[in-house]
Structure 1
Amino acid sequence: MTPESPSTNDRLVRIEIKLDQALTQHADHETRIRLLERGRWPLPSVAVLLSVGALAAAVIPLVSH
């Protein structure tokens, strides 16, 4: 009797393949998430700039009187 039977080796190979696939998918998900996050940051920035502009437009006539 050998310490590792062929079925054990086969199982280890399958586990290794599944682990490699999972790591590849994880890296792909990270890339996708980073792209989505990069595309979303301008929206809040534009909203803040527009609100500051609207506030300035509302306050300037009040102060000038």
Structure 2
Amino acid sequence: MGLLTTVRDVLQASTESANRGDVTDERSEGAYWCDDCDVRIRDIDVEGDDPPDCPDCGAAMRFERSPGSTGCAC
């Protein structure tokens, strides 16, 4: 039963954290997207209040809010 216990423990541990992937305590409210280039920039990586321009094409990016409790801005 050692192998089954190990697999169960790993699967259980992978579902316990609601902040998977968050390295910092900063909370993202969403992300800026370029619809033409499919480029995404998290809001906490942007300085100021104005939407950034796409680094690939230069077009204005749109802001999309996080769906809420998942902690993901995707």
Same fold (TM over 0.5): no
More helix by share: 1
Taking structure 1 as the reference length, the TM-score comes to 0.35
Taking structure 2 as the reference length, the TM-score comes to 0.32
Q: In terms of Rg, which structure is larger?
A: 1
More strand by share: 2
